[in-house]
Structure 1
Amino acid sequence: MITSNQFAYSDPRINQYLTNSRDYSAQTVMSVSIAWRTQCVLIGAQPFDMVLLYLLDDPMHPIGTRQNRIELMGFGKNVTWLDDKGEKAVILANSYTYSTYQWILSFVHIYDIQSDEFSDSTQPVLIYPNSQQILFRWLVPELIRLVCSSHGHLAIFDDLGIPAIIYSTPSGTYPNTNSTYFTSNTVPCIRGTYRNYTGIELCIPCSNGTYAYSNSYSPCTLPDSFCPYGAVEEISYSIFESIEQDQDYLESPENTVFDDILMQNIFSFNAQSGHCVLVSPITWVLLVIALGIILVGGMFIHEAFFPGIHITRDGTKQIFKKMDLIGEGELWIGGLASTKVLVIVISVYDFSNQYFHQYPIEQVTSDSSFACDVTLRIAKFSTTMQMTSTSHNSTKQNQVIFNMLNAQSITLNVDLIQTTFICNGSLIVQRVVGSQPTQLPISVCETSHNDSILSLAIALLTQEVGIQLTLPGSRTVGAICLGLSGPSMMSTDKR
């Protein structure tokens, strides 16, 4: 029951009370609706701005109450059950002043009592009118009566007695009230939203990790998919190009003199990896030395056990004598040592040739596999573009670049990702100057990835500007990507 002692002294409801009376007035009338299947009773007490929920066999103890707490009356002016299931309550939430009973506004609330219960913290599953279901054009804003059918259709009457009907629609659709008639029509759910039951409620956006397309609700299956709240398509993160704006200036290597680089790579041995061991000339010199030791040892053993003339042994010595670069052909052992020198010469030539082809650096697409350091390049970097605290303190050499930047035309690029907004959807771009915005034209508008990404290009009139983008309707946007672009410029001195 409702008693005056449950309200604060400053609450205008403290002067209201319940009593039996044969006098009727629109200001004091209450509304009652019974759901026979669930044995629940809704009582709307608009003077107390409150709706109570009872069980039919216990009229003394409410199982749920809800009030607006906005120091106005009218919540619960009319109550009813949406259908014969008795699970969803429909409440006319009007607002009147207590002193003069002056109407302020009217809304229709629907509460899913079966799933959400009924209390002050319970949120309605639908509030009519809304941005997608506007007030019927024939109705006046002041609503006074609600009537529901057993199939979930809702009839609304305004203060002039004009009716309008919101029909219950099947899953995958919702009732559109922007109609020229007194009844709603059925339209499919907007991409990115779904409804898998029959009713008059709006379609709801998909949850994270799912997407809705063509009335189908599906989970995202790609391991790197981007499917936020209200996703309209399964999009992979790999399609997004990452642009690093804060880039470090390239630095020249410690050694830029070819002689030093050649000496470091030819006469050094680095065993930190198998690749370094393989490309080191010292490795091949040691291999040739090992083979030479084996060959010399074999020849000495053969000469010790088989003295005299031996065609193969003597022929081998003659070959090594001709290869002798150290003793000028006098010693066959000098020819064996000369093979090590030959290995060094070949290594120097091969390294120099491949190092030469690392220029220019812009055309190098693979690692430098001929050296232990695969990042080795034939390049020396220098720049006059450095970080400065302000352009006014820059040198004359740098000022050329700043002048080019100031003269450059800039285009603002906006990507709306995971959205159903389209190019002909009355998008408005405005330049905000003070309190008077000026509309800017959209240079380029296009969609991609099955119309799930909307890309806009807006030419900026100045480099310091405030931009306002207005998206009409109630459609979701999963992410926004912003960027600036402009044409390249070159000064007369080729910088």
Structure 2
Amino acid sequence: SSQAAVLVSTYSLDYSTWYSSNIYLYTSLTTTTIPSSYSALIPNIQQQLPSTISSQLIQAVSTPESLAVLDVNGNILLILATPAGTYAATDSSSLSGTASIPAVSSSTACIAGTYKSSSGIHPCSLCPSGTRNPGGGPCTSCINCSSNSFCPWGAVFEVNETYITSQSQAYAYPHSPELTAYEDIVLSNSFAIGSTSHCIVTSPLFWALIIAGLGVIIIIVMNTLHFFLHPQKSDKWRKTIKKIFRQTDLIVSEGELWIGGIVSLCVLVIILVSYVFAGSFYSQYPAESVGDSSFACDTTLRNAQYDSNLQSLAIPVSDEEESIVDMLDNQVFTLQLDILNTIISCQTISFVEVVGSTTLSLTMASCTNVNGVVSATIIVLDHDATIEVTLTGIQLVGGFRLGLSGPSQSNDSSTLQQLSFREAFYGISLGTMVQSVTVGIQLTKAINETKPLSGDSSSFSGIWYPIFSLNNRKTFITSTQYSQLPSSSDTVMTITISEASYYIKNTESPIAKQQEVIFHTFLFTIICLEISGLIFLIVKLMFIPIVKKVIAHYYHAPRGKVTPTHENASHESNSETRSEDD
């Protein structure tokens, strides 16, 4: 025969304690040498010892077609080889025989999700990943699954992959912008031109350059009029244009120079566009309630800054926060368990809450079974609870999805957000689930405070952030590990819900309130005027005299008494003014 069985019993060193007895099965042997790894273990999930047979086994006798096992009480279990597609069932409901007659195994079709390609006493193996067996009869090979379905080891159905997607409401709280001082924001927006068309159009400096460009065109026209008009008429037009610009020069040189009118218009454009920016920026709060900032180069610009920190639950909350904290503490949860790729039914699922050393039965709020996905829900009143879910039977489970949901609630200043989390668990290598699973859910309060633009009353919102924890490597196994697991008649999932000892406090506040916007915008206006006046003064007292001296030097100005340059400029300006008035 190409198969072998070895009975191994484990004792204490003094033989006073009998730990366990197991039968190691080896299949597809090519030599008489026993390999280091075995094919299956008896008892196992499919082949459990009946109640009439003790777990302390003392002898095993094999034939090519059967295996007889003797326990310490003298009872005999006879395991008969079965053909491909079936396995030798040894549970109490499948046996024949009495205490005086050996208990004999029966041939049973492989359970859903397994197959057996050869005869023998060994159990059925898991269908490989990407294949399935819907059950209902003997199975010697598994059916291929479609490429876009969830088919792990031991698959029963082609489950839609949407069931293994998780759903989260948690998000990273925004960081404060690089500039959180309003005056810095105004300055960076007013004196910068971006590279995109939107940034160019929204830049005050761009519109000031447009005005300056028009001024340059006017200067060119003034200097070319004598080519097209009579000298007397061209001089009249030039004097008229200069007079208009002197009258518009209210900022730079106060009507002293006609070029100051063009500069004054440029400064005025910058100020007006900045006023529009100030009004639009002020209304960009709170950030989550407004749209894009089309008035600025950065469309994500908001009148908001953020702060996030952790607060200990040992510290009493403020009176303002008490309402939202109470809402969170009193929120009723609905726990949803989606069992994926299995043929178990709703009738085989039970929920209990573990309270100390006792258990309280929990009634399912709903349960559905559609195409290999069983969805069961229960109401959870406590935010600190241990819940056990029992799946009766040895049927396989490909994975599960655990979710928490809760209703929303609101009052004058506080809003409890609707809770809707889903976390899917399945093997990284698409293995099948073991029969003992422990999942931890740690709940953390997240409280968001939005400070007002005006007044003192903040608004609050809150939500629970659950953190799911599971040892994935120990929870999902391959076919080899499955055949080597000890026997168990049920699958038990333990779900532990607890609350963290801290909560997340997020604060959103405006960068600038109304009074600050008005004051700093007015201050910006004064700065623009002062800078313009300073530039004009520097040009008048330093640049123009130097230019005139350079010109006089190169054109050999006549020697003699030299009138100071600034006096000449003033005299010429006054003479020109009197001439125009005449």
Please tell me the TM-score bracket, short chain as reference: 0.5 to 0.7
- Cα 1:183–1:394 change in 2 (3 A) is closer
Whole-Å separation in 2 of the counterparts to 1:187 and 1:311: 111
Q: Is residue 244 from structure 1 mapped to residue 159 from structure 2 by the alignment?
A: no
Q: Contact 1:412–1:460 at 8 Å: present in 2 too?
A: yes
**Contact 1:116/1:122, CA 8 A, preserved across alignment:** no
Counterpart in 1 of 2:302? 377
Residues 84 and 116 in structure 2, CA contact (< 8 A), matched pair in contact too? no
1:438 pairs with 2:438 = no
1:263 is aligned to 2:186: yes
Q: What is the match of residue 216 of structure 1?
A: 143
- CA-based RMSD of the aligned residues comes to 5.7
Task: Indicate the residue corresponding to 2:230 in structure 1.
Answer: 308
Are the aligned partners of 1:320 and 1:336 in contact in 2 as well (CA < 8 Å)?
no
Deviation per residue, 1:195-242 (Å, 9 max, x gap): 4733454444467xx4433533569679xxx98766775737993123
Task: Output the CA distance in 1 between the equivalents of 2:234 and 2:167.
Answer: 68
* Distance (Å, rounded) in 2 between the aligned partners of 1:309 and 1:227: 95
Which residues of structure 1 form unaligned runs of 5+? Answer: 1-80, 98-102
Matching residue of 2:84: 169
Q: Please show how residues 96-115 of structure 1 align to structure 2 within 5 Å.
A: 109-112=24-27, 114=29
Structure 1 segment 136-175 matched on structure 2, within 5 A: 145-148=61-64, 154=66, 165-170=80-85
Q: Is the 8 A contact 1:89 1:112 kept in 2?
A: yes
Counterparts of 1:327 and 1:377, CA distance in 2: 36
The alpha carbon displacement at 1:133 in A equals 3.4
Q: Hey, what's the Cα distance between the residues in 1 that align with 2:339 and 2:242? A: 75
Over 3 Å counting, the alpha-carbon distance change for 1:130 and 1:439 in structure 2 is: same
User: Which of the numbers 404, 424, 449 marks the counterpart of 2:346?
Assistant: 424
CA distance 1:283–1:104, change in 2 (3 Å): closer
Is the 1:270–1:277 contact (alpha carbons within 8 Å) kept by the matching residues of 2? yes
Structure 2 letter corresponding to 1:374: T
Q: Structure 2 residue aligned with 1:131, among 42, 45, 54? A: 45
The match for 2:205 among 261, 279, 282 is 282
For 1:157 and 1:421, locate their aligned partners in 2 and report how far apart those are by CA, in whole Å. 32
**Paired residue type of 1:240:** S
Task: Note if contact 2:145-2:151 (Cα within 8 Å) is conserved in structure 1.
Answer: no
Residue 264 of structure 1 aligns to a residue whose secondary structure is helix
TM-score, normalised by the number of residues in structure 2: 0.48
1:472 aligned residue (375, 392, 396): 392
Aligned residue type for 1:370: F
Give the conservation status (yes or no) of the 8 Å contact 1:256–1:380.
Answer: no
Q: 1:492 to 1:336 in 2, by over 3 A?
A: closer
Q: What does residue range 35-434 of structure 1 map to in structure 2 within 5 Å?
A: 81=1, 86=2, 88-91=3-6, 109-112=24-27, 114=29, 118-119=33-34, 122-134=36-48, 145-148=61-64, 154=66, 165-170=80-85, 179=94, 183-187=106-110, 189-190=112-113, 195=115, 197-200=117-120, 201-205=122-126, 210-214=129-133, 215-217=142-144, 233=159, 235=161, 239-244=165-170, 260=183, 263-264=186-187, 266-269=189-192, 276=199, 279-293=202-216, 295-296=217-218, 298-303=220-225, 305-308=227-230, 326=248, 340=266, 343-344=269-270, 347-348=273-274, 351=277, 355=281, 358=284, 361-364=287-290, 367-379=292-304, 387-390=311-314, 393-406=316-329, 408-411=330-333, 413-415=335-337, 419-420=341-342, 422=344, 424=346, 426-434=348-356
TM-score, scaled to structure 1: 0.55
Please give the per-residue CA displacement for 1:271-307, whole angstroms capped at 9, x wherever unaligned: 69886556322133224424542x1453245235445
Q: CA deviation at 1:111?
A: 0.3
Instruction: Give the distance between the partners of 2:229 and 2:318, measured in 1 at CA.
Output: 85
Describe the shift of the 1:195–1:297 C-alpha distance in structure 2 as closer, same or farther (beyond 3 A).
Answer: farther
C-alpha distance in structure 2 between counterparts of 1:162 and 1:335, whole Å: 112
Identity across matched positions, percent: 25
Q: Secondary structure at the match of 1:122?
A: coil
* Corresponding residue for residue 509 of structure 2: none
Contact 1:93 1:107 in 2 (8 A): yes
Name the amino acid aligned to 2:203. S
- Which protein is richer in helix relative to its size? 2
* Secondary structure of 1:114 counterpart: coil
Name the SS for the 2:205 alignment partner.
helix
Amino acid at match of 1:241: Q
The match for 2:564 is none
For the structure 1 residues 138 and 382, does the alpha-carbon distance in structure 2 shift closer, same or farther, using more than 3 Å as the test?
closer
